[in-house]
Amino acid sequence: MPNIHFEMFPGRTADHKPDLARELTNGFVRTCSGPGDRLQVVITEVERENRGVGGELMANK
């Protein structure tokens, strides 16, 4: 069963997440010809203080 794990900063509304899951699924089906009805999308919200880029936490940028 295919899975997409998507991480993003918090702040999107509950209304955005179904659209995101649908668009990720549609993109997968378009590019990989996979079974969209079995694809799992996991959305994880990561706080800025828990993500670093270039040795610096995003909370400090």
CA distances from 36 to 9, 21, 28 (A): 25, 11, 7
Interatomic CA distance for residues 20 and 13, integer angstroms: 11
Reply yes or no on whether 2 is catalytic.
yes
Catalytic residue, candidates 2, 10, 18, 35:
2
At position 2, the amino acid (one-letter code) is: P
Give me the active site residues, please.
2
